[in-house]
Chains A and B, each alone.
Chain A
Amino acid sequence: MSWLAFRQHRGRMIGMGLIFVLWGGLCGMELYAPVLSGMSAMVFAYIPLVFGVFLGAPIVSREYERGTHQFAWTQSVSRSQWFLWQVVVALSLALATTAYISTLVGFVTPEFTLEVDSVMYPLTGSVPYAWAVFAVATGLLWSAITRRTTVAMAAAFFGVAASQFIAEGMRNRSEAVSHWTAADIWILQSVEAGILVAIAGVMGLAAWWLTARRDPA
């Protein structure tokens, strides 16, 4: 089962490979041209959108569109197992890419103080991983609901962008009340990550239910 999921993700693995190279180049440029400092961190905000659109949204709908679900789901493997492996591979790709980028950016970014509105906030601690999981789950849910890849991609894009916007607003609001310091900002980050992962879990369950329990029509 894992073989099929990995083989089907080959194209997307190449895509993530390109991101690896791109970020490598970007960070390299920052090292040699301090004017550009902080750029790779700023562009990172778009990465969850990429995860949602290219890793989450195609998972189920691509099968429906090509009719291959009728092949995949009538082998000797349960639909739930099939679903699990697809999600595991997509999540692994998203998390590996996140780990690579956050490490690389941390390496090239000069000393900084972690604040709520700093560009490094989304790149430190558990926050970037939580967003990766959340973005994939958003794409996945839309994929399972709409069964159309393009529609799911658009919905995932706007869904993740809107969530980022809302999250930023809520962060600023809590900052206005609590004035997070570098020492205790991890609490805010953990709360944010916890909420994101919880929502992602619910979305993932819903997507599983829609895939494994609903008729593929």
Chain B
Amino acid sequence: MIALEAAGLGKRYRDTWALREVFLSVPQGRVVALVGPNGAGKSTLMRVAVGLSRPTTGRLRVFGEEPYGETLERVAYVAQDKPLYDEFTVGEMIRVGERLNPRFDAKGATRRLNDLNVPGRARVHTLSGGQRAQVAITLAVAKRADLIVLDEPLASLDPLARHEVMEGLMMAVADTGMTVLLSSHVIAELEEVCDHLVLLSRGRVQVAGDIEEILQGHRLLVGPAGTVPGGSYEVIGEHRTERQTSLLARLSDPVHDPRWTARELSLQDVVLGYMRSPDVTHYPPPVLAERGDVA
């Protein structure tokens, strides 16, 4: 089952394209890191995915349906600034969630916020940034959606709050197997929680796929300067000194060249490499994505 699928998706604001020809196919149950430099279109993609914005071209489907009407039951969203009703109490916010969502787990939300020491009687505007984020994310989790979309959930949180937010989210994933779409411009925060990557650059998908496959397919090739390793690979980035050449490469086959060593890369290395070369794209063409649907 495909949780999120985009085909030829484009979104234009006045005369600038925030998204262009986006093709995506995210299988159900993945925890997806949506990364890219500021202004790459991450927030726009998320807003289209939760039905707040409508595509200018192409289409986007959530579990096979457009994200409007009844499909909204299956999608939860927390915007970057964690909007809540400031004049409400935390308890009243839970009540809103309960009234507006048929599958809402009010007991679970109350328990979770109690555990986090967020009192139900507190008014939302008196909460700290971390508590506010906890309330917003707890409400989204309690909706028991099949896809939860979080725009920069960790921005402006201290390390403890980050840990607590992620822990709560991952516990929910362990319980329900829901699909998670998380955006961040700091890839390091997502490395341990995500198993799928979507890297956006200038409104297009530059890399998308399961992180493990991406890591398997990329190596840092280090060898003497002035030589080129044999084999079939594509160079994403390179760094040369007088004696040594380092190539960030996507390999089709292992490189067998005794003078060159192939080192494994961290996700951050791969992402940074692509971000430095925004013109290189590595994404299966739409045909492959479509074929993935059937499987």
A residues contacting B by CB (< 8 A) are 1, 3-4, 7-8, 11, 66-78, 215-217
Contact = CB atoms under 8 A, between A and B. Distances in A.
Among A68, A70, A217: residue with most chain B CB under 10 A:
A70
Interface string B75-99: 1110101011111100010011101
B191 interface: no
Chain B interface category by residue count = 20 to 34
Interface stretch (B46-54, B203-211, B225-233): B46-54
B102 interface: yes
Given A3-B99, A215-B54, A75 B83 contact: no
B290 to A, nearest CB: 28
A69 to B, nearest CB: 8
Contacts of B92: 7
- Chain A contact residues: helix, strand, loop or mixed: loop
Interface of B: 13, 50-54, 68-70, 72-73, 75-77, 79, 81, 83-88, 92, 95-97, 99-103, 136, 143
Contact of B83 (A1, A4, A11, A70): A70
A76 B136 CA distance: 16
Contacts of B51: 73-74
Contacts of A71: 79, 83-85, 136
A66 B101 contact: no
A215 to B, nearest CB: 5
A8 B99 contact: no
A78 B69 contact: yes
B96 A3 contact: yes
A75 B97 contact: yes
Contact of B76 (A73, A74, A217): A74
Contacts of A72: 100
Contacts of B72: 74-78
A9 to B, nearest CB: 11
A77 B100 contact: yes
